[in-house]
Amino acid sequence: MTCREATEALTESVEAGLSRAQRWRLDRHLFSCISCAAYRQTYEMTITLERVAFAPPGDGEALPDSLVASILSRRRLAVPLATVK
């Protein structure tokens, strides 16, 4: 599976689901490709944020702990803009 096929399969997995064989091929690619694994994490984070952002007011759904932890860990790794020249 190529990286392009993997990103298409990720989209398809959310929209329509994947067959067992397609899921196996995708998982195998994600295991060996750090770029696509990072893309999947970002993709899933975006879907979660979208779900929370567009939830009806007063729904009371809190951000998942894993999402908060992921955002905070990336924030700690970020370079402050004032140090970029």
Task: Give the residues lining the site for Zn ion (CB under 5 A).
Answer: 3, 6, 33, 36
- Structure token pair of residue 57: 């007011």
Nearer to Zn ion, 10 or 36 (CB): 36
Nearer to Zn ion, 25 or 48 (CB): 25
Nearer to Zn ion, 6 or 9 (CB): 6
Minimal distance, residue 19 CB to Zn ion, in Å: 20
Minimal distance, residue 51 CB to Zn ion, in Å: 25
